[in-house]
A and B are shown apart, each in its own frame.
Chain A
Amino acid sequence: MAHLRLPISDYIREYGPHVSDSPVTGWGPKPEPDRLVETHCCFCGMQCGVKLQVKSGRVIGIEPWEEFPFNEGRLCPKGVKRYMQTHHPDRLTDPLIREGAGFRKAGWDEALDLVASKARAIQAKRGKDAFAMLSGVSLSNEKSYLVGKFARLALGTANLDYNGRFCMVSAGAGNKKAFGIDRVANPWDDIPEAGVVLLAGTNVSECFPTLTHYIWKARDRGAKLIVVDPRETPIARTADHHVALRPGTDSALNQALLHELVANGWFDREFVEQRCTGWAELRASVERCTPEWAGEICGVPAALIREVAAAWGQAKTSFLLHARGVEQHTKGVENVLGLINLVLATGRIGRRGCGYGTITGQGNGQGGREHGHKCDQLPGNRDIENPEHRKHICDVWRISDAELPRKGKTTVEIVEAIHAGGIHGLLNICFNPMVSHPDTGFTREALERLEFFCVIDFFMSETARYADVVLPGSLHEEEEGTSTTAEARVVRIRAAVEPPGNARRDTWILLELARRLGKEEHFRFSSSEDIFNELRRASAGGTADYAGITYERVEREMGVFWPCPSEGHPGTPRLFEDGRSYHPDGKFKLLPTPYRPSAEVPDAEFPLYMTSGRSVFHYLSGTQTRRIKFLVEKSPGPICEMHPALATRLGLVDRQLVTVETRRGAITVPLRIVETIRPDTVFLPYHWPEELAANQLTVRALDPVSKMPEFKVAACRVRAATRGEADRARSLFAELKLEAS
């Protein structure tokens, strides 16, 4: 049983997070690097090109990579400082096995044999699916593909899912419904050509800072910028139109905008009637959705909705981008479809300057979701329940259909099944649910009920503390591979150094486990490129077709856009240029998205909206960024953002410690009073664990289609912290800034 037996401060003292801010060579005169390794930043879907300076097998610094076409040297602070994680004192350097109250170091044979024997024992007793696997899309394409194959063939479980479930599944589901393909439709190079840029629920300047440059390039040419966000984010600050709507009301806004497009004739009749299906139904569905109706629901002036509709409707070219702000809802897929409807209604897609796309949040959020570590997918973005799709993969893997598991549970459902006693063993790589999963208290209870839990990670994440075995894996810069950026450009990740101590490459760990599970015959890979070449064959003929992409091409061309079905194919930066979707009939699907309320809305007891999101200084669950001093100093811990009008009403002052409560839990954090948020809404960033986890408060309610949790809306109340809560918060915040000795 994986109850924590030590106080959390003991784990922090032993394994961190500690903050460190000194290059491995110190701050003295810098040695001349032996070589510069051209690779990519490991944080966020932009995958900015960067050069790592390497000296005697160690990463000693960075140099901007100005020749890489997307970012031309531009970086955010995470990208500049990421190299400080490579030789961080917190790196795990030996396998660890739970013993007594803590862990003891072990050899690889003992640790791997233990994992294999426990998995076998649980599966023998309770069935194959009683052992689940969770993964993450900060992994390369090769590792994502390998995890999918490993879980299905080596573990033989249907229950494999990934943290993309918290990232872009709503967008993926919406894109597949409307377009028959799950990919951004245009390269970022099309943004500067757009006459209007609409950003819906995407804090571009904090989550994808380097994309900001492209938006400014459009604005320099006269483009109007529309931002839809409950907060005046740094990108919203300068927008031409900022719709600061109530959290969870996007679908009402989208309907009213469509209503205005119809009412004013700002739609492309030929496109909607000839290239799409469902125009009549869609048009009828918004007939009564006036700006007044939506304004009431969204809490914004009807006149503003009209202005936005006019700006969007009358443009000649446009680019619509969205991200987690509209996607992390129980109606995430509907929000996405509502936005796609605005694009399709105007027919502005498939050509230069006319674009659409979700901005994938995780490093390899795009590639990772295409090659099979999602519970319902096989490589090439194939459907695990489709007989033809199954056959193709069975042929590549040389197995029978009976050997390939069917659709399994999604991430939250896996955690719920663990909690309910249906899943007893778990292997977890590249995922930190103790920070990122909704309803932290429930997640903890689930982890505590596991019969056996193994975590592969390079740092002792907050989740790994609950493990029976921790296997020290590799960082982005320690293994060869590829990654697919948010614009669907496959880029090359290069190994700059070896993993430290007895840590091993993730691929080696998975291959060794497969061997010990008796499945070596399916896992004979000699290199990452070898895995990639099998991925190419597995993806061939699927929508995410990588067949024509080789390492050599990726390096020479500085990235290749999929689909790329053959080596002579140039790749596909822009989709739909022939006016056809990827559905069999070639039509784009217009689907009505009537407004409905969020799972939980404010009431007398919990009268405020709570919404959550990111800070520019941290990446996802913070396992990496909470260890780098520069980033920690700028953003040491969570804060609660609140409008001064609300603060006055509640009698709260700036920087005071406040307690935010929902039906799931409470969190005590400093208050930041700022006019850039709606007075009925408070904001909390989610990068911190345990008692400082914003996800203690979030709702474990899922989108019925994508199974995305509703991170963006909860009902809450806020009050001054009690003395006890404040004392506790101070000691927790002090631990966040512990320096490595």
Chain B
Amino acid sequence: MSAVVRDFFIDFQRCIGCQACAAACSECHTHRGLPMVHVDLVAPGVSLQTAPMVCMHCADPTCASVCPADAIKVDEHGIVHSSLKPRCISCGNCELACPFGVPIIKMEIQQMQKCDMCFDRTSAGKKPMCATVCPTGALFYGTREEIAQQRPASKPINRWRFGKQRIATRVHVMVPHDVDEMAVELPAFDEGGGPAALATALAAGARDGRAPEEAGPEAEFL
């Protein structure tokens, strides 16, 4: 085992929406053809910008905090794992609470499954499958020195703020040098907001009233 610490970086601007990451992730037999990485169209109808989302592996994961069954665990490498099958009650709290929209309850097996950063591969010194195949470097696995040297025009950060919640993640995102924190403003419920204001804010955030959607099937008219 090498002592070199390698991290995971997402560089959203490079994503071309090709879904090679999802194709490669789905090859993992532990989740049987179902990808754990999602590629979302950010503004359907407006732009082809897509965003690949792996699990961000929060230092203090919201999914684990809200789990009533204590089924979600973080290991010594900072990897947040799928729910422990014997404990998971498939309640969906993790799905609802994760600010990144990562966990998915697979009802047919009564378990939450999510990206574990290819623990089987990384523990054997390999890169995660998605970051290995990504044709553009939108997903990158390597050292901080490597990314700093290769991409001088941007820098990695791992600090997020969703309304009042601050989160540090094991996964980094590449941003311009003048950005130190990824901030997502949310309407405060205790300041005269409430559900109606939230709905308005969400609609305004997603242009044309459409929420971001999974990139993919065209023929939903059927």
Contact = CB atoms under 8 A, between A and B. Distances in A.
A80 B27 contact: yes
Nearest to B218: A639
Contact of B219 (A233, A235, A670, A674): A670
A105 interface: no
Contacts of B22: 77, 630
B23 interface: yes
A657 B219 CA distance: 9
Counting chain B residues whose Cβ lies within 8 A of the other chain, the interface size class is 35 or more
Contacts of A22: 33
Interface in A704-741: 730, 733-734
Contacts of B27: 61-62, 80
B176 interface: no
Contact of B150 (A64, A220, A675): A220
B45 interface: yes
Interface string A641-683: 0001000000000111100000000000010111110000000
A21 B33 contact: yes
B46 A674 contact: yes
B2 interface: no
Contact of A220 (B15, B127, B153): B153
B49 A237 contact: yes
Chain B interface mostly helix, strand, loop or mixed? loop
Interface residues of A, number: 59
Contacts of B137: 213, 216
B83 interface: no
Contact of B135 (A213, A233, A637, A655): A213
Nearest to A74: B135
A217 B151 CA distance: 8
B221 A655 contact: yes
Interface stretch (A204-212, A445-453, A564-572): A204-212
A232 B48 CA distance: 8
Contacts of A730: 222
B29 A27 contact: yes
B144 to A, nearest CB: 16
A237 B136 CA distance: 14
B23 A237 contact: no
Nearest to B32: A27
Interface string A44-79: 000000000000000001101010000101111101
B8 to A, nearest CB: 16
Q: Max chain A CB contacts within 10 Å: which of B29, B44, B127?
A: B29
Contacts of B158: none
Nearest to B220: A655
Interface string B13-34: 1111111101110110100110
Contact of A79 (B20, B44, B215, B220): B20
B134 A74 contact: yes
B48 A237 contact: yes
A655 B213 CA distance: 15
A630 B23 contact: yes
A501 interface: no
A29 B29 contact: yes
Given A209-B18, A220-B153, A634-B217, A74 B133 contact: yes
Given A28-B29, A213-B137, A634 B216 contact: yes
B156 to A, nearest CB: 14
A233 B46 CA distance: 12
A675 B29 contact: no
A81 interface: yes
Contacts of A633: 216-217
Contact of A674 (B45, B127, B220): B45
B214 to A, nearest CB: 10
B217 A77 contact: no
B152 interface: yes
Given A27-B29, A74-B133, A238 B217 contact: no
A222 B154 CA distance: 12
B93 interface: no
B18 A205 contact: yes
A74 B135 CA distance: 5
B65 interface: no
B218 A672 contact: yes
B16 A80 contact: no
Contacts of A71: 135
Nearest to B49: A237
A734 B33 CA distance: 22
Interface string A167-190: 000000000000000000000000
Given A616-B16, A675-B47, A27 B217 contact: no
Given A27-B33, A630-B22, 8 more contacts: A27-B32, A62-B27, A75-B24, A237-B48, A238-B13, A616-B17, A634-B216, A634-B217
Interface of A: 21-22, 27-30, 61-62, 64, 66, 71, 73-77, 79-81, 205-206, 209-210, 212-213, 216-217, 219-220, 222, 232-235, 237-238, 616-617, 630, 633-637, 639, 644, 654-657, 670, 672-676, 730, 733-734
Interface of B: 13-20, 22-24, 26-27, 29, 32-33, 44-50, 127, 129, 132-137, 150-153, 215-222
